[in-house]
Chain A
């Protein structure tokens, strides 16, 4: 019984089911959405939100605490990972010119990190 209560609490999804259903319906040539599928999709989206935030944070800021997760951390992550390709049009769409330039700079420097691991330092000094 105690176990039961625990699982019920774990099962409590935080995102509103009705909203998730609306979003799902907007995409499909709509078939039925069973409660089970709706539950699964909602949980899945919660996992995605946390995964996305965590990955972006650790990729850019490692495991340091007390930092601020910023937009460019997200767009960098999306640009670098094939599995997030579906977000390419979504995440860059929202940025401002200043952020875009910043992102370009960060992308360039991180790209050269990978390409010429040893040459980065001297290159930066040149600039």
Chain B
């Protein structure tokens, strides 16, 4: 939960770096402008979140999905963000998948994994046969 209002601020240093990367070399940002951008970013998060939530609720979903967010961005005229975000999302999903796989692989040897899989499917087939026979 939010205990202090400052908990809703985004870290100054990161915001400053992001802005610097976006502007031409050698340009400056006044402190007031930086604070305003940071505030705007917080409000942006709330704005997009609540719009996405409304969209999810309209479809009788309780939790928002990535799709809801992308659709919301399109509807709110931030469609220029969507292509790059879609790419990032794909890369993120791939990364998560890779992580999961490498975790699974490190837990058990690949060959034994295959063996168990094939033996268990054999067992399942046998069980199915048994069921058929019982009928």
Contacts and interface: CB of A to CB of B under 8 A. Distances in A.
Contacts of B41: 45, 48-49, 52
A49 B23 CA distance: 11
A23 B36 contact: no
A74 B88 CA distance: 28
Contact of A69 (B23, B25, B50): B23
A42 B96 CA distance: 16
Given A45-B44, A65-B25, A31 B56 contact: yes
A68 interface: yes
B53 A94 contact: no
Given A15-B14, A22-B7, A37-B66, A50 B21 contact: yes
B66 A36 contact: yes
A100 to B, nearest CB: 12
Interface in B1-39: 1-2, 7-8, 10-11, 14-15, 17-19, 21-30, 32-33, 35-39
Contacts, number: 198
Chain A interface size band reads 35 or more
Given A15-B11, A57-B23, A27 B32 contact: no
18 contacts: A11-B95, A15-B14, A19-B11, A27-B46, A28-B49, A36-B96, A44-B81, A45-B10, A47-B84, A48-B81, A53-B19, A53-B23, A57-B24, A66-B26, A71-B33, A74-B40, A90-B39, A91-B39
